[in-house]
Structure formats: structure tokens, C-alpha cells
Structure 1
Amino acid sequence: MTLPDAPTTRSRAAWPIAALLVGYPVWWALGFGGLAVIVLSFPMAYVLWRRRPIRVPRGLGLWALLLAGYVVSALMLTEMPPDTYGEFGAGRIFGYVMRLALYVSLMVMVLYLGNLTERELPQLRLVRMLGVLFLTTVAGGLLGVLFPSFAFTSPLERVLPGWIGGNPFVQNLIHPTAAQIQKVLGHASPRPEAPFEWANAWGSNLSVLLVWFVVGWWVYGGPRRKAVAVLLIAAAAVPVVYSLNRGLWIGLGLAALYLVVRVGGRTRLAICAAGLVGAAVFAASPLADLVTQRIDNPHSNDIRAFTVSATVRAAGGSPFIGYGNTRNAMGNHRTITTGKTDWCTECGHPPLGSDGQLWHLIITQGFVGAALYVAFFVGAIRRHWPDRSPIGLAGVLVMLLVLLYMFVYDGLVTPLSLYLISFALLWRNAHA
């Protein structure tokens, strides 16, 4: 199945999504990064307002309930779960408001994308916009590998008051850096994160964008575009390995298995052949030794086990609506008294809900909120599984990756934007 050629007439109504995806490096440099979707949700909402009545996709009611639950969870912002500490203040309120604004903006974005016509925003054009962001992500990954100390103060960071800009969560969003330096292998190891907020966000986003890059550049690309795609994917392998990101590696393995199962004929044989060739080349390269070292150093397992168990225990105090925002655990996986030192500047009390979107939702919105999130993406898979077009197959794959990554990756901030754009692509495909 092939998509018709995109119309040459470009609609002004589609500029906000182009500004978000194609212009993302500019937002990153300005200090907005993933928060750009909040800014651009206003012109998106204006487009929607002018074309009422608005079409709504099946399943979006679950997202609306998730939003409503988050509003109710504000009642618990002043409360402290068991075995946590911290004072109620402006930082907690600001974090809550920012997350609420993001959830609302993503809902507006889905409605905006689904109500644009095929002539205003052809599917192929939207897919290739995601492909452009994939190129930006690969470039950022290579920057993190080659120049890991690269960083600068953004314009937004300069104008924000200290009580906001100094917050560690906000600092990660507004201060552009090429890589996170972590002692994963027993020594300082740079993990690419540009142009996103964390190394794990880089890994999650790259895998989702790779799916759409393959659709736009390989499935619907000519010989020249396909040749370039092969070279770019090969280049992406370098930061993928240097990211030391086991979740990303597992996600790529799941994607390959999914394609082998769901496609047939010569396409399946081509995927298997490409996989074998790629594995042989990789095994003979210096990158293979780095993967072996990472597998032999699962340093984060104990930390994750501690924060997940502490999150579940704390959520038991408010299982239905959560606590509105995250809290800091009392102690860590080694001791009840811990803090930053000269030799470990990242040590301290780990924030609960920081090891995966599922755990984040459990502490902020309770088990009900987590269930609504899972039901939203499971419902999308169930409805669109019969769609065997390239966009249908790719969209369902992304929904599966969402369910995998929710155990190990935070969805905030940029990953959720890509998840919901993928959901909108599925909706548009079914509507067409």
C-alpha cells in the first residue's frame, strides 16, 4: 500500500506542528525544549476554535478522565506520604501546574492534528516531519558522544527567577546540555541527551522517531532516500550504544520482533537478512565491548527497586487520587541518611516516581490514574491492530513501546508529545 503524493499547496493551519517538530532545535536552544508544545498549543487551540464542531477520537475520553483526576489530585499537594519528606511550597505548586499544562496541551494537540484535513496536513508530510526530528536526535546524540561537556545558558534560563530556574527538574528542561555524565561503568561515562531533557528521554524518543523515519524515508522513499536512510541509521548506532541505555536496546529488539511477526513475504526475509548483517558488523566493531560492559554493570537495578517499592508504599496512603506531585524518599537503597558529597554530586534522596511513567502516575494520581493511562494506550492498540498499512503498523508499534517504556522511562516531557502524535497519526489513518 502506498500513500498518494502530498499536495503541493501548503496550509497555514499546519504551521504549529511544523514549528514544534522541524523547529525543535530552536526551542531547545531558547530553553523551552519539550515545553514548546505548551506554547504552541495556543495557536493550535485557535485553529480548533475556528472550525467547530470538533471531531474527537475514540478513547480520548480516558485522557480527559486522566486530566480530571490530576485536577482533583491537587487536594493532596500539602500532604506527605509515609516515609517521605519535604516542605510544601512554590516549587511543588509550580511543578504541578507545569505538568497539568502539559497534559492539557497534549490533548489540544491531538484534537488539532485530527481535525486538520489531508490537504492541510498530509499524513506523509507529518511522518517526514517526525523524520526530521529523528535527524536532529541523531545529531544531538553524536554531539553528546564527541563533545559531552558541551552546554550553555539558554535565554529562558537567564530571565527566570532563581526559585524556578534553580529547581533541579526545571534546570534539566531549560539548560541545554549535550550529555549526562554518569558513573555507569565504574568511571565517568557520557550518555547523550541533546536535544532533550534526559539521557533516558533521548533513548525513548530516538526509538519512536526511528519508527517514523523508516516509514517516511524507506517505505515511502525512492532509491536515493533509501540509501541515505541506511547511512543515517548506521550513524545512529554509535550514540545508541554510547547511551548505555538498556531500555532503548530492549525497545529496539521488541520493534524488530514485532515487524518479523506482523509483516510477511519478502519484507520479513529482508528484515531478517538486514538484522543478521547488522548484528555481524556490530559484533566485529568496538561498540560490542561497550554493550558487554554495560550488561555486566547493572548499577541502577538496586536504585530502581528501592524507588519503585517506596513509590507503591507511599501511594497506599492515597490510592485513588495520589498526591498531585512527586515526593522525596526518606533515605535510599543503601541507607536512611544520604546526601550529596564531593565525590558523588548526584547522591541524595531519590524522588519517587522518577523511574518510569507508571510509577510517576501512581504517586501523582494514584492507581486509578495509572490504570487510565494504560487503558488509553491499550485501547489504541486494540482498535488499530487490524490496520496493516505502514502507518497503522508503525503506530501500533509505538503504542506497544509506550507500554514497555512506562516501567523504566518518564513520559514527561518530550516522550509524551511523540506518543500522542503517534496516536493522532493512527486516528487520522483510520478516519481517512
Structure 2
Amino acid sequence: MSAEPGRVSDLPRKWAPGHALTVVAPSSGRLGVVDRAVDQPTPGLWRGPGSLLVWLLALYPLWWVLGLQALIFPMLAVPMAISLTRRRHVELPPAFGIWLCFCLVVAASLLMLDVNPPGTVAGGWLGRLPGALYRFGGYISVTIIALYAVNLSEREFPRRRLIGLLSYLGLVTVVGGLLGTFAGTFEFTSPVEAVLPHGIRSNGFVKSLVHPQASQVMDFLGYETPRPAAPWGYTNTWGNIMAICAGWIAVAAFCFRTSTRHRVAAVALLAIAVVPIVHSMNRGLWLNLGVIAVVVAVRMFIVGRLWMIGVLVGAGLVALLAIAVTPLGDVVSARIDNGHSDDGRGYSTEQALAAVPHSPVLGFGSTRNTVGSADSIAIGPTEACPNCGSRTLGGNGQLWQVVFAHGLAGVACYLGFFLAVLWRFRRDHSPVGIVGWVVMVLSLTSMFYYNALLPPLVLTMLCYVLLWRNERDGAVEGMAP
């Protein structure tokens, strides 16, 4: 006997009071049976099933202030894993086996940490282990968080709540961007940073994880320019998450039965977001917004909603006009005229690809630093120029990190997972399906210039969870037709 996804079967309730046994048809893509609560009232926001997601996402500004902006993901993944072990059955969503294979490749690539490809700074397995374990722990955290969210029923944790949390993070990102734009020098010592030994907290990578700052201040225009980063640590991470969350702001405001005031506030928020988006001088973000517009327009054309294409075109023209007639246009022009990182990124990519034949299957387990730069092996970082020379191979985009650190096996699994997800949910033309699908596309386009660990990949996986739960659980209650 079988039941359709999201429906309770007619089988006797033999598990426990308030629970029903659901047997899933093989075509649904799920494994085994799922025990679902059906009679109990919906739990509160901060307690009960799904509350760990609320603590993780809703309180993210607090974690940033405390210096836990990156550490909070593995920290809360531990109780999430414990929660999963207490379930009678753990559901695996479609294509998740490919992702688990990727995690196995990441683990196997740790064996290659002592390999020194030509042109890189020599080192040993033990010295490279901490950074490699941080990345491996990040992928495990992403995996646990995704499984935790998948195994929540609609009654336990409604999809609308998760959509609300993602749109809320969009609001947080815009506010952080405004802080970075107009108070770019704002920074402070976090409690976590204060208790770390000086030798550890002075490390650039560690500092980026525990030191709250509104922006990354750079001088590639000939003068110091703040580029919004709060509360995500890096400007590129800020831009990546801005693109991921923008669509969920629109879904939360316009695809549910909400008040006019709520919708006006959402439009105002997206309009205000143009200011930090431009001042971030983040070309990857600008490209991602273009990708979003094109993909959504194509999906709207497929389902015959031509009026939505007109809305997208109109909104784009208004944004471009606003940029052209305000000082924002000068910022865009200055950024286009100053490539800044183009040469360094090109050199890092070239060197990373050149190293692949020395460990093609499993890669090198982690990143490496080059000896010198593209101009000379004698060029290295100095106090006046900390970013000169010694480029990080695998640090200029998720694709390059995967191919360098985890080899062709890692690339096959990583790309295979996202391509399989895109194929599986290609026919979901609901608002949740379209925005979730667009985020999956962004994971492939932005991998050439953004690193995804850790917050962007977590949010991307939660969008994947929404795609599956949308198919599994049917129509979202309260969503406008």
C-alpha cells in the first residue's frame, strides 16, 4: 500500500499517539516510511520541532555581534544531528545521495594534504589539517542542516515559516549593506575574539570569522572605499546572500495573502537595496541579479505569464534610470574602469588548473598558497601590501576550490548534485518552485567567482529543501492563487 507525498495513508496508527504512518510510493523519490505528527497542535516558534532553524536564522545578527557568525552553523548542527538520531526514520530527498558522495570525496581528499604541487609553498599534512577540517566540517554542517529541515513536516515547521526566515535574512542583509555603505569603518571586538589568544585572532582568516565589521575597506579606486559586508564577513559573501534572498522577499510579500502595507514595505526594501548593491561594487552580484531576471523571465514565458515579464522589464528600467541620474552611476562607472582583482583571479585560476594533473582524482585536500605572483616569484605579501603575491589556489570561486582541493571526483559530484536538482524540479512553476530553482541556477553561475562555504551554501540547501517539500507536501497554505 502506498500514499501520495504529503498525504497520510489509511494504514492503522501503530507508532504512537498523535502520529500516523505514511508509506511512500517509489515514484516519490523518498526512502521507506515517514512518521508524521498529525493530531498535535503546531509547536511554538522557539521550541519544538524546527526551532533550531529559528535560532540559527532569526538570531543571526546576534551571532554576528558575538563573533559566532561562522561557528554557529557547526555548533547548532550538533543538536540538529541529535534530533535526527531520535527520529524513527530519516528521509533523504531526491539527488541527496550525490551530495553524500561529494562529502565522501571531501573526506578522502584529506589523504592528499601532504602533496605539494609545483609553484606552491611547501608544507606538511599536519599544518594543513586545521583549514581542511574546517571546510570538511562546513560541508557536514550543511548536510545535517539540510536533513534536519527536510525531515520536518508541514505541521511541525510550515514552509511559509522558512520562507519568512529567508526573506528576513534578506532584510538583515540590506540593513547590513546600508551600515557598510554609510558607516564603513564601523567595527568592534566581539566577545569570542576577545578571549582568543593574540596569535590566533591576529590571523587574517580567523579575524574574518570572529571580528564584526560593517564593510571591507579597499583602495583599488585610488582612495579608500568601504564595500558592504555586514553581517556576513566578506563583501562577496554579502553579495551572494543578497542574490539568494532577494527572491524570497518578493515571495513572502506578493505570493501570500498579505496586507498592502506589507507589500509596499517589500517594494521599498528592494528599492533601498539598490544603494548598497551598487556601493558594494560587486560585479558578481550585478551579474547574479541579471541571471535572476533572465531565468525568471524565461520561466514566466513558459507558463504564459507575460505580464510578469513586463513587470521585470519595468522594474529593471526604473532601477537603471535611478542609477543613471544619481551619484550611483559614478560608482558603477568607476568600478567598470577598475578591474581590481581580474589579474589576480586569472592567475589563481590558471595555477589551480595547472596543478590538477598532479592529483587529478582527489585533488589536494585543501587550498595552497603560490610562491610569488604572476610577475615574479620574489613578490610576496608585505605590511604595505598584504595581498601582494602568495595567491590562494582555490580561494577565488567555489568551482576552483572544488577542482583544486577535491579533484575531478569532487567536481563530478558537486556539479552532478545541482544539475540533478535542476532537472528534478524543472516543472515546478509555483512561486516557491521558481525562486528555489533560480537559486540552484545561481549556485552554478556564481561558483566561478564566489566561494560558497559556509552561509551561502546553507541558504542554498534550504532553498533545495523548499523545492522538495513543495513537491512532497503540496500547495502552501495561504499562498495566493
TM-score interval (norm. to shorter): over 0.9
Give the secondary-structure state (helix, strand or coil) at the position aligned to 1:289: helix
Which of 188, 195, 198 matches 1:159?
195
Q: Which residue of 2 aligns with 1:226?
A: 263
Q: Which residue of 1 aligns with 2:421?
A: 380
| Conserved 8 A contact 2:254-2:263 | yes
Counterparts of 1:84-123 in structure 2 under 5 Å? 84-88=120-124, 91-123=127-159
Question: What RMSD, in angstroms, separates the aligned Cα atoms of the two structures?
Answer: 1.6
Q: Which residue of 1 aligns with 2:319?
A: 278
Q: Which residue of 1 aligns with 2:347?
A: 306
Q: Which residue of 2 aligns with 1:291?
A: 332
Indicate the larger mover: 291-300 or 334-343. 334-343
Aligned AA (2:298): V
State yes or no: 1:205 paired with 2:241: yes
Q: Which residue of 1 aligns with 2:232?
A: 196
Which of 358, 362, 368 matches 2:409?
368
| Conserved 8 A contact 2:352-2:393 | yes
Any idea what the Cα deviations from partners look like across 1:246-283, whole Å, max 9, x if unmatched?
01001001111112221123222222222222222222
Give the secondary-structure state (helix, strand or coil) at the position aligned to 1:190: strand
Q: Distance in 2 between matches of 1:333 and 1:217?
A: 49
Which of 297, 303, 306 matches 1:260?
297
Which of 370, 380, 384 matches 1:339?
380
Deviation of the 1:20 alpha carbon: 1.1
Indicate the larger mover: 260-269 or 309-318. 260-269
Aligned AA (1:198): Y
Q: Which residue of 1 aligns with 2:396?
A: 355
State yes or no: 1:15 paired with 2:33: no
Report 1 or 2 for greater relative contact order, CA contacts < 8 Å, sequence distance ≥ 6: 1
Deviation of the 1:243 alpha carbon: 0.5
Which consecutive residues of structure 1, in runs of 5 or more, have no partner in the other structure? 1-6
Aligned AA (1:298): G
Any idea what the Cα deviations from partners look like across 1:301-351, whole Å, max 9, x if unmatched?
111110000011122211111111110012213222122335323323111
| Conserved 8 A contact 1:184-1:294 | no
Which of 237, 251, 261 matches 2:288?
251
Aligned AA (1:413): L
Counterparts of 1:399-410 in structure 2 under 5 Å? 399-410=440-451
| Conserved 8 A contact 2:42-2:155 | no
Deviation of the 1:417 alpha carbon: 1.0
| Conserved 8 A contact 2:381-2:390 | no
Q: Distance in 2 between matches of 1:91 and 1:18?
A: 36
Q: Distance in 2 between matches of 1:212 and 1:229?
A: 10
Q: Which protein shows a greater Rg?
A: 2
Deviation of the 1:153 alpha carbon: 1.6
Aligned AA (2:349): V
| Conserved 8 A contact 2:42-2:156 | no
Q: Distance in 2 between matches of 1:188 and 1:317?
A: 40
Q: Which residue of 1 aligns with 2:466?
A: 425
Deviation of the 1:49 alpha carbon: 1.5
Which of 103, 108, 122 matches 1:72?
108
Which of 92, 106, 116 matches 1:56?
92
Indicate the larger mover: 402-411 or 26-35. 26-35
Aligned AA (1:152): F
Which consecutive residues of structure 2, in runs of 5 or more, have no partner in the other structure? 1-40, 474-481
Q: Distance in 1 between matches of 2:396 and 2:230?
A: 20
Deviation of the 1:31 alpha carbon: 1.2
For residues 90 and 176 of structure 1, do their structure 2 counterparts lie closer, same or farther at Cα, with a shift above 3 Å needed? Answer: farther
Q: Which residue of 1 aligns with 2:70?
A: 34
State yes or no: 1:146 paired with 2:182: yes
Aligned AA (2:367): T
| Conserved 8 A contact 2:120-2:369 | yes
State yes or no: 1:393 paired with 2:434: yes
Q: Distance in 2 between matches of 1:161 and 1:372?
A: 39
For residues 385 and 21 of structure 1, do their structure 2 counterparts lie closer, same or farther at Cα, with a shift above 3 Å needed? Answer: same
Any idea what the Cα deviations from partners look like across 1:139-175, whole Å, max 9, x if unmatched?
1111111111111122222233455434322221111
Query: What TM-score do the two structures reach when normalised by structure 1?
Result: 0.95
The count of residues paired between Structure 1 and Structure 2 equals 426
Higher percent of residues as helix: 1
Any idea what the Cα deviations from partners look like across 1:57-85, whole Å, max 9, x if unmatched?
11111111111111111111122111100
Q: Distance in 2 between matches of 1:63 and 1:188?
A: 41
Q: Distance in 1 between matches of 2:263 and 2:42?
A: 22
For residues 163 and 430 of structure 1, do their structure 2 counterparts lie closer, same or farther at Cα, with a shift above 3 Å needed? Answer: farther
| Conserved 8 A contact 1:35-1:413 | no
Indicate the larger mover: 68-77 or 167-176. 167-176
- Structure 1 runs of 4+ with >4 Å offset: none
Indicate the larger mover: 306-315 or 266-275. 266-275
Aligned AA (1:116): L
Deviation of the 1:427 alpha carbon: 1.3
Q: Which residue of 1 aligns with 2:38?
A: none
| Conserved 8 A contact 2:250-2:266 | yes
